[in-house]
Structure 1
Amino acid sequence: MQAQMGANRLKASTRDAVKLNPHDNIVIALRDLEAGEKPTLVPEPLAACVPRGHKIAVASIRAGENIIRYGQIIGQAKSDIAQGEHVHVHNLGMGAHQQDYAHASANTPLPSLIEGRTFDGYHRCDGSVGTRNYIGILTTVNCSGSVARFIAEAAEKSGLLDSFPNVDGVVPIVHGTGCGMSGKDEGYATLFRTLAGYAQHPNFGGILLIGLGCEVMQIADLVDGRPIRADGVLRYMTIQTEGGTRRTIERGLDELRGIAELANQAERAPAPVSAITVGMQCGGSDGYSGITANPALGYASDLLVRHGGTTILSETSEVYGAEHLLTRRAETVDVGEKLIERIHWWEDYTARNGGEMDNNPSPGNKRGGLTTILEKSLGAVAKGGTAPLRDVYKFGQKIDKQGFVFMDSPGFDPCSVTGQVASGANLIVFTTGRGSVSGYQPTPCIKLATNSEMYARMAEDMDLNCGDVVTAGTSIEAKGEELFEMLIRVASGEKTKSEELGFGGVEFVPWQIGAVM
């Protein structure tokens, strides 16, 4: 919220730097600044060059003193910092991390919007609505991955879908696990939820499930005598039972034809916007992320929630340091405590694996101006807007409440998106400041550029430029409304840049937890 307030003031600010909160002791450079320049908001001339998106001290800061951005602590000075000095990794460190969670103390509901907004989607038997109508070839284990791809390639070469115009394509969902793992630990349960979530996803009109036969993740356990899909459009087989690669491909093509006949019966029809579930991501972030694209996505998130839709914030390791902003918005104390339980789990998880929560930002993030995980997290949380936090879910757990929710995941983007899709996201919105090239079949991904320079350089991969919040004074509200309208168009079938480029074949990355055996 602090980032959104600051971004809204950009319209009236000078164009060389911006102060995001009155209590901040740093400002953000809005262009590359040379040594000796004196930006309007900085009392003293710059001691050295400061790149766009980086921080400048506007007050003398003593060693050990807190450095404030968005009105929040982003770390402590490692040495004395003078006015006009560049603030970054050389003089800013993590410092102590302690927050007042104040559970459920600021959870004011947003006013509802009843405007009858609709999109054209695929209505499923369980009441969900798809934004695409793919056929999925889902694998239980890495050993069946190549055969799944062979079947998809054979279907394409043979023109199998030519007679089924309502089917968007065949998507092989392959991965590198499913065996060499325990059959009863947290890692197994996580993979099970992920595969079951994809099998039930509304963007699939039908599923062909393929295993090898001897793996830990058994098809029989996934199916277990119950219909995974309410419509019954699921077929399954194992390579060992079918008699090898060639026979499995032949049987697979036969099954695909039957699935396609059923999937093709689905046609787009009006559905309420409340049936849209958006997974929200940021990757390759920069100093502009928390000023432009993330708060614009937060505004669009609030609009969707006000229409009855659902938005999912994730990447637990990248809300670390800003979790208190979410716990305060929790609907209940129990919801806030569920988030903190996940934070504590992550602290233990990283410690026992020789890591630390501040091993982020990445080198690219730092080149873009981000210094500590506290700073990155405060900007990342802006994606969640201002709506109350309705609940907290485990990775790949089915989202069963509408509104703004949190799903636990790593900060590794393809893994985090995999969990969001498994949980039911039928759209993904991905903000990036350094540039990202990825897509997530069967769910379309809208990519937002945080700065105009990167957008111009990578326009073929970016769907929307949010850099004009800085370069043209566009308001966060206007940019959020523009994104909201794009969500409706993409949900109705408009292709995103990643779809046009053919992304989505390698971005299914289940979260591997536990020992590889």
Structure 2
Amino acid sequence: MQRVLKVHPQDNVLVALTDLFEGEIIIYNDEKITLLDNVKAKHKFLTADLKQGDEILMYGVLVGKAQTDLKAGNVITTANIKHAANSFEIGERKTAWEKPDVSKWENATFNGFHRPDGSVGTANYWLVIPMVFCENRNLEVLQEALVGPLGYGRKKAYQNQALKLVEMYKAGADVEDFLNVDLFVEGEDQKSERLFPNVDGIKFLTHQGGCGGIRQDSETLCALLAGYITHPNVAGATVLSLGCQNAQVNILQTEIEKRDPNFAKPLYVLDQQKVGKESELLPLALKQTFAGLVEANKQTRKPAPLSKITIGLECGGSDGFSGISANPAIGYTSDLLVALGGQVILAEFPELCGVEQNISDRCVTVEEAERFSHLMKTYAARAEAAGSGFDMNPSPGNIKDGLITDAIKSAGAAKKGGTSPVVAILDYPEKVTKPGLNLLCTPGNDVESTTAEVASGANIVLFTTGLGTPTGNPVTPVVKIASNTTLFNRMNDIMDINTGTIIDGEETIYDAGARILDYVIKVASGEVEVAAVRNGQDDFIPWKRGVSL
């Protein structure tokens, strides 16, 4: 197995692919370097001596500067380097790219749900949505009433385990008995039989918005909810409104019309202050939702071209291997889908810090490049005004596993976008309308960003992780991709695909990217249930456009 890697010829650091130790002599492309420190796997060490203030390059871009004089063989840490990134400007268009060979998939199809607007879903869900947080309790009542009886619940494994502990306590067990008992119960956590086999589930999108704050927050929330109602994975929706909130139903209806002028899905809207008593509101909501489910169940999967797939690209719990295995692998998947006429969404603007010039140059028009520049600079200024900044983006977990500056993290994160031209720059939560690579302004926060990508139209999300994160989405399958084999084996209950095979030398980035596309087709056809769906991971957090990194 290869022990070190130089990501780009211009880099002055090497990545440790396995633990290395002080005093070892590392030979790489005729370079001989004696390690002056222990270097854990995923971390980097210098290939040349540096003076204080000298630049550190990785992925061929500036990712930091030395805070003190350093020697070749020193490991780089938060103590001896600091974040630095290149500035960017509107330059020449560099949109030529080498399209990958897609002959294997040119005639491939997936089986999806065809919608009246021409889009195709990879799933078929019914939504129940509150216009304001005041309606969350009513959603919880409806959820309890519908999910179990209609066969969308699972046996409550942990509740059964708690009941076992209760029985032990009543029988006189002591503390040591509780700590040592095996709580596993045979046959736990199994699916129930669905009343409506063609409906994948009823999803309840509770949130904390809709009133208070500023009016723009409510308007943006309405746009986000409209993105879910018009989403190809959604058959229809029940909407509960209190009546007096800032997020008015007419705003929602306007946003729906923007996204789908000929909207034809079942949509039931109930205003509690008009209907009156809860005892009248909830039965009405139950009847209408049930009627909608009957209609939704009439829809079946039919073949569709791969151009009807829209992939959202996301990362969370990233590590020092993410940018050299999982991220470039899905970047190649992205290029394959773009070449097949599909749509791809790259988000997380704070994690494009330092690679803005490359992104800007790849925009197909100057106008799109200017919009990208405006959104990036405005976002960065807001973060700084709040006493933060993109340089504070890496989490403790990121830093521990080798991503010690935001520029290092960003340069690796941007690999998710592959090499194709950028066809459009979208502000949150605009809808994707153009085939190709689209950039969507979102935070780096996993759930906020995933929530936004789905609202913009992603009917599959590819989510890379190096540390492990269970993030999912209520309506779109989120495919979890491990950057390293250790993670994949340790947390295989929440992982779907292992790209640690790249680090282990078992396959190339291109092989892994092609393998991921084959997996996406199976997921899109309903042939494979991803871990996030299996685990009921329905994360949904609207972004209030405040500073969120």
Q: Give me the TM-score of the superposition, normalised by structure 2.
A: 0.87
Residue 55 of structure 1 is matched in structure 2 by 44
Structure 2 residue identity aligned to 1:440: N
* Higher alpha-carbon deviation: 429-438 or 215-224: 215-224
Task: Please list, as runs of the form range in 1=range in 2, the aligned pairs for 1:113-512 lying within 5 A after superposition.
Answer: 113=102, 115-159=106-150, 162-183=194-215, 185=216, 187-223=217-253, 230-493=263-526, 494-504=528-538, 507-512=539-544
**CA contact 1:76–1:92 (8 Å) conserved in 2:** yes
Deviation at 1:117, TM superposition (A): 1.5
Please give the alpha-carbon distance, in whole angstroms, between the structure 2 residues aligned to 1:98 and 1:394. Answer: 22
Decide whether the 8 Å contact of 2:62 with 2:86 is kept in 1. Answer: no
Aligned to 1:93: 82
Cα distance 1:288–1:224, how it changes in 2: closer, same or farther (>3 A)?
Answer: closer
The answer on 1:34 being equivalent to 2:7 is no
CA contact (8 A) 1:103 1:336 kept: no
CA distance in 1, matches of 2:11, 2:89: 19
Q: Deviations over 1:393-419 (max 9, x none)?
A: 011211110111100001111101111
| Cα contact 1:103–1:337 (8 A) shared by 2 | no
CA distance in 2, matches of 1:370, 1:65: 19
Structure 2: how far apart are the matches of 1:141 and 1:103?
Answer: 46
Opposite residue 24 of structure 1, the aligned amino acid is D
CA distance in 1, matches of 2:469, 2:265: 37
SS in 2 for 1:116: coil
Closer, same or farther in 2 for the Cα pair 1:27/1:374, shift >3 Å? same
Question: 2:264 is matched by which residue type in structure 1?
Answer: D
State the distance in 1 between where 2:114 and 2:300 align.
8
Contact kept? 2:2, 2:505, Cα under 8 Å: no
8 Å CA contact 1:198–1:421 kept in 2: the answer is yes
CA shift for structure 1 position 431: 0.3
8 Å CA contact 1:109, 1:388 repeated in 2: no
Task: Find the aligned partners of 2:407 and 2:313 in 1 and give their Cα distance.
Answer: 19
How far apart are the structure 2 equivalents of 1:81 and 1:263?
A: 64
Between the aligned partners of 1:44 and 1:158, the Cα distance in structure 2 is 66
The CA deviation at 1:224 is 5.5
With over 3 angstroms needed to count, the CA separation of the structure-2 counterparts of 1:52 and 1:113, relative to structure 1, is: closer
- How far residue 188 of structure 1 moved from its aligned partner, in angstroms, is 3.4
In structure 2, do the counterparts of structure 1 residues 143 and 313 end up closer, same or farther at CA, with 3 Å as the change threshold? same
Q: Distance in 2 between matches of 1:146 and 1:366?
A: 40
Letter of the structure 2 residue corresponding to residue 50 of structure 1: V
Would you say the 8 A contact 1:121–1:269 is kept in 2?
yes
Cα deviation digits, residues 239-280 of structure 1 (max 9, x gap): 233324343221111011110111111100000100000110
1:66-102 Cα deviation digits (max 9, x unpaired): 1011111111111111111111211111236423552
Structure 2 residue runs without a partner (length 5+):
153-193
Q: Secondary structure at the match of 1:328?
A: helix
Aligned 8 A contact 2:111 2:525 in 1: yes
> Cα offset for 1:139?
1.4
C-alpha spacing 1:401/1:96, structure 2 compared with 1 (3 Å): closer
State the superposition RMSD in angstroms: 1.9
Task: Measure, in 2, the Cα distance between the counterparts of 1:109 and 1:389.
Answer: 14
CA separation in 2, counterparts of 1:407 and 1:160? 36
Match of residue 165 from structure 2: none
Q: Report the 3-state secondary structure (helix = DSSP H, G, I; strand = E; otherwise coil) of the residue aligned with 2:390.
A: coil
CA shift for structure 1 position 37: 1.9
Which of residues 16, 37, 41 is equivalent to 2:3?
A: 16
User: Do the aligned partners of residues 242 and 468 (structure 1) sit closer, same or farther apart at CA in structure 2, a change above 3 Å counting?
Assistant: same
Residues 124-147 of structure 1: CA distance to partner in whole angstroms, max 9, x if unpaired?
000010111010001111111221
TM-score (normalizing by structure 1): 0.92
Q: Which residue of 1 aligns with 2:179?
A: none
Runs of 4+ in 1 over 4 A off after TM superposition: 111-114, 224-229
- Opposite residue 6 of structure 2, the aligned amino acid is K
Asked if structure 2 preserves the Cα contact closer than 8 Å seen for 1:43 and 1:84, the reply is: no
Mean CA deviation greater in 347-356 or 70-79: 347-356
Deviates more, 1:287-296 or 1:160-169: 160-169
Aligned in 2, Cα 1:15/1:110: closer, same or farther, shift over 3 Å? closer
Q: Give identity over the alignment, percent.
A: 36
Distance 2:41 2:315 in 1: 19
Pair 224,84 (structure 1): closer, same or farther in 2 beyond 3 Å: closer
Partners of 1:500 and 1:421 in 2: CA distance: 19
Is the alpha carbon distance of 1:441 and 1:99 closer, same or farther for their aligned partners in structure 2, counting shifts above 3 Å? Answer: same
CA separation in 2, counterparts of 1:218 and 1:343? 30
The match for 1:69 is: 58
Once residues 483 and 246 of structure 1 are traced to their aligned partners in structure 2, the CA distance between those partners, rounded to angstroms, is: 49
Give the number of the structure whose alpha-carbon radius of gyration is greater.
2
Instruction: Flag the 1:320–1:121 CA change in 2: closer, same or farther, 3 A.
Output: same
Aligned partner of 2:540: which letter?
F
TM-aligned CA distance change 1:62 to 1:167, over 3 Å: same
Task: Provide, for residues 445-484 of structure 1, a one-character-per-residue CA deviation record: whole Å limited to 9, x for no partner.
Answer: 0011011111111111111010110113310010000000
Give the Å deviation of 1:294.
Answer: 0.2
Question: In the TM superposition, what is the alpha-carbon distance from 1:20 to its structure 2 partner?
Answer: 1.2
The range that moved more, 480-489 or 256-265, is 256-265
- Looking at structure 1, the residues matched to 504 and 36 of structure 2 have their Cα atoms a distance apart, in angstroms, of 25
Q: Secondary structure at 1:271's aligned position in 2?
A: strand
Deviation string 1:45-75 (CA, Å, 9 cap, x unpaired) is 3222111100111111111111011111111
- Contact 2:24/2:35, CA 8 A, preserved across alignment: yes
